[in-house]
Structure 1
Amino acid sequence: MRAVVYDRYSKDLDTLEVREMPDPKLPPAAVLIEVRAAGVNPVDWKVMGGGLDALLPTQFPVIPGWDVAGVVVAVGMDTPEFAVGDEVMAYARKDTVSAGTFAERVAVPVSAVARKPAALSWEEAGALPLAGGTALRAIDALGDLTGRTVLIHGAAGGVGGFAVQIAATRGAKIIGTASERNHDYIRSLGGEPTTYGEGLAERVRGLAGGPVDAVADFVGGQLDVTLDVLGEGGAHASTADPSVMQHGGRYIWVRPDGTQTARLADLAQEGHLRVEISETFPLDRVADAFRANQAGHTRGKLVIVP
């Protein structure tokens, strides 16, 4: 099969190459997926640069990519949940960095797999699991949001856009930070936008009419603002700043979970969650997709389409 690979840790994206690789082995409790789409996430190029070496063992050559949507083409000996021909999606991270999703086929543990909803295209389904799961876990960590005001740092990003929509389904009033060009986008998702930068705390208090009840941070470097605007007894969580744990917050790290991905699929099928696709790339342009992701100005998601 064709796959994108790298042979060593490197921040030089030109070391990525498309190569013929052996088809994945299929463990008993796994499915073999023909990849139709695979979302790009910042963790993909951070892993390539060695950023998670202290947490996860690596086996070179590495095929990057942790998101996938595709068709089941084979099932392991212990997978009664799925059959050949099923359309599925998954956050497909494994305990060892090696066989990822930027390839024509990938084997994924059945515990991480969910059925693709008809409401989503392949590209949308491939972009949703990791970013959507991160948003879902962060919003879950904030507790009951009915009638409460939530500040979302980075509301126009790949994770933040999902968080705005999920919080809206919980009955929250949402204030989201974004550049001015993305303010209409935030409104379309159900949030009230404001610009980030100097004076943010005052702007948030003005929009909220006082302190906010909860904060979700998908940017990092926002702890001072979070603590400034958060009301007494309020909840906060961050995917980008572990130091929130020293101030009563939750640090979010998402594990593969087919049940969680199925919750996202249900929200999409019910019309409560839309997936914004910024651009798609073939396998031989993964380096370009990583560069675009690193630039940090993309609204919505970038997707690899083998």
Structure 2
Amino acid sequence: MNRAVTVSRFGGPEVIEIAEIPMPHPGPGGARVRVEAASVHPVDLATRAGHYGETPEPAGRLVLGWDYAGRIDAVGPHVDTGIIGITVTGWRYWFDTREGTQADFVVVPIESVTPCPSSLSPAALTTLPLNGNTAFQALDLLGLQRGHTLAILGAAGNLGGFAMDLAVHRGIAVAGVAGDGDREFVEGRGGRFISRTSRDVGGDLRRALGGPADALFATAPVDRSVFGGLQPGGVAVSAVGERPANSGLDWRFLNARPNTEQTVELVRMAERGEIALRVAGTIPFEDAAEAHRAAARPGMRGRYVLTSTERR
């Protein structure tokens, strides 16, 4: 049996169906993962609602989900059977295949999986691949080096938090713009906290960093008040597709893709406590609609994670 979180029409959480889909079998160079945990991301909510649909309704049944954690339970030809049973994590770029990871079993190329230590739970692991790779690639796009300064909008969110951890680890001074209740998190991860409700966000950034920030990473909608705290002509990356006109910044396009080498490094950092893996809550696989409702609540920190409860 292979259950999956699916939609065959767009709408609210009520359109989600737990459907049985064909059991996948790994071909040459492939591995089948018995999924134990899968994160629910904002992109899943948007897909379910039809924000990425090209037609009024899906062309067939769509399986949701971008990343996963679980155990390898079968391998295809030319793959070492000794890896059966190990815990792995990874993600797939959903828009390429429209075949998600929120299913009991998924088949993936063996080179795309990352072996994981037993010290990290599957629920925690599945919060890392998509947002961790995105943060990693955003920092690479910004081209910052040790000693540079960075402003992050939405620094307490999942993506912003990973970017802050990575930047601090690289010796980059970070000022994180976040909600008033997030000061402890931002400062606890080595950032300088800036309240998003401040009347002078730009001035606060300059004071916190000792001058204008060299770069901006926006994981939340951009308020123009931030521009006063940025170096004119500095680089900027937006994870929300925004590139405001007349900002005086060099905006660079971000389209993150799976990168196993980066995921391996991220998992090692998580094991050492250098990256914070935050689970907002775990919800049984069959209650995926409730996970979507929970994930839509304002102020969510971390990710809600679907966990498998079926006996096999």
* TM-score normalized with structure 1 length: 0.90
Q: How many Å separate the matches in 1 of 2:241 and 2:81?
A: 37
Provide the residue aligned with 1:264 in structure 2: 266
Q: How many Å separate the matches in 1 of 2:118 and 2:139?
A: 25
Moved over 6 A (4+): none
Range that drifts further, 129-138 or 13-22: 13-22
Range that drifts further, 123-132 or 261-270: 261-270
CA displacement 1:122-178 (0-9 Å, x = unmatched): 111111100111111112222233122211100111111111111110111111111
Measured at CA, do residues 82 and 97 of structure 1 come closer, stay the same or move farther in structure 2, by a change above 3 Å? farther
**Number of equivalenced pairs:** 301
CA displacement 1:103-124 (0-9 Å, x = unmatched): 2111123342111134421111
**Identity score, percent:** 31
Provide the residue aligned with 1:275 in structure 2: 277
- The answer for unaligned runs of 5 or more in structure 2 is none
Judge conservation of contact 1:59–1:96 (CA < 8 Å) in 2: no
Q: How many Å separate the matches in 1 of 2:18 and 2:241?
A: 34
Measured at CA, do residues 245 and 128 of structure 1 come closer, stay the same or move farther in structure 2, by a change above 3 Å? farther
Q: Deviation at 1:261?
A: 1.3
Provide the residue aligned with 2:243 in structure 1: 243
Measured at CA, do residues 299 and 144 of structure 1 come closer, stay the same or move farther in structure 2, by a change above 3 Å? same
SS of match in other structure, 1:137: helix
Which of 288, 291, 301 in structure 1 is aligned with 2:303? 301
Letter in 2 for 1:202: G
Measured at CA, do residues 17 and 147 of structure 1 come closer, stay the same or move farther in structure 2, by a change above 3 Å? same
Provide the residue aligned with 1:145 in structure 2: 145
Measured at CA, do residues 295 and 15 of structure 1 come closer, stay the same or move farther in structure 2, by a change above 3 Å? same
| Alignment map for 1:146-295 (pairs within 5 Å) | 146-197=146-197, 198-222=199-223, 224-243=224-243, 247-295=249-297
Matching of residue 23 in structure 1 with residue 47 in structure 2? no
Letter in 1 for 2:3: R
Provide the residue aligned with 2:49 in structure 1: 49
SS of match in other structure, 2:120: coil
Q: How many Å separate the matches in 1 of 2:117 and 2:142?
A: 27
Judge conservation of contact 2:6–2:61 (CA < 8 Å) in 1: yes
Q: How many Å separate the matches in 2 of 1:154 and 1:167?
A: 14
SS of match in other structure, 1:219: coil
| Alignment map for 1:98-113 (pairs within 5 Å) | 98=99, 100-113=100-113
SS of match in other structure, 1:147: coil
SS of match in other structure, 1:291: helix
Letter in 2 for 1:196: R
SS of match in other structure, 1:273: coil
Letter in 1 for 2:253: Y
SS of match in other structure, 1:265: helix
- The answer for unaligned runs of 5 or more in structure 1 is none
* TM-score normalized with structure 2 length: 0.88
Q: Deviation at 1:78?
A: 4.1
Judge conservation of contact 1:66–1:93 (CA < 8 Å) in 2: yes
Letter in 2 for 1:107: V
Q: How many Å separate the matches in 1 of 2:230 and 2:81?
A: 44
